[in-house]
Amino acid sequence: MAFGSDRKYMTPAQAEAAQIDVGLRQYMLKVYNYMASGLALTGIVALLVSMSPQAMMTLFGTPLKWVVIFAPVVVVMVFAAKIGSMRASTAQGVFWLYAGLMGLSLSSIFLAYTGVSITRTFFVTAAAFAGLSLYGYTTKRNLSGLGSFLVMGLWGLIIASVINIFLASSALQFVVSCAGVLIFAGLTAWDTQSIKQMYYENYSEEDGTKVAILGALNLYMDFINLFMFLLQFLGDRRSE
């Protein structure tokens, strides 16, 4: 009631700005809700699969492991290419499918690391992600220049990771892990600012939902990658 009373004394520009502010918060909340739901689905699938020795043997002890590894990559590439022509409901379904497939893929970390260290790293990642995303949302600094630099760094990271598959160099792996933490920390802030800016492009409700899902996917991938690189530093490996 007080809000409506206050609006009587606003100029049209102030009223419009207030409405945009409320809409922006609702939009960002939708993005974070999708992202958190995707992470929850991934975690549940990963945990349930890791608790079944038979499922783990089937998924990672047979050639099916290549399907598990590459299926999320294929799905996210198709999603990025086709989201413009998808209905919002279809985009949601593909997002849940991707999160579930990532859960299958990430269940393998329970073979290498202790459950306690995985949990600890998750909470460290969550705290770091929250701070970085908050910075990206609130900063007045334009991060677009930083984003271009980070994308180039990401490509360098991918190339170095592929090369190290053949070299198996622990020193190179350490450098890649350090770079990965820094790059995805920066991408978290940049993606958050980019998602915020998308709101001002005045999408329809249908397109706005798809943009929110796409934004959630970007933040989801930032979180997962940041978690995986931090796990290499903070994770306690299981004894052979």
Q: How confident is the model at residue 41 (pLDDT cuts 50, 70, 90)?
A: very high
**Alpha-carbon separation of residue 24 from 90, 133, 196, 206, 224 (angstroms):** 24, 15, 7, 16, 25
Q: What is the mean pLDDT of residues 30-52?
A: 96
Alpha-carbon gap, residue 192 to 210, rounded angstroms? 16
**Tokens 């052979």, residue?**
240
For residue 10, is pLDDT > 90? no
3-state helix, strand, coil in the chain (%, to 5): 85, 0, 15
Give the Cα separation of 239 and 87 in Å (integer).
48
| 160/168 Cα distance (integer angstroms) | 11
Question: What is the residue extent of each domain of the chain?
Answer: 2-234
d(CA 195, CA 219): 9
3-state SS string for 57-112: HHHHCCCHHHHHHHHHHHHHHHHHHHHHHCCHHHHHHHHHHHHHHHHHHHCCHHHH
Angle at 88 between CA 19 and CA 39, to 5 degrees: 90
The answer on pLDDT for 95 being more than 70 is: yes
**Closest to 124 measured CA to CA, from 181, 67, 64:** 181
The pLDDT confidence band at residue 169, using thresholds 50, 70 and 90, is confident
For residues 119-148, give the mean pLDDT. Answer: 94
Average pLDDT over the chain, rounded to whole? 88
Judged against a pLDDT cut of 50, whether residue 1 lies above it is answered with: no
Position 108 pLDDT exceeds 50:
yes
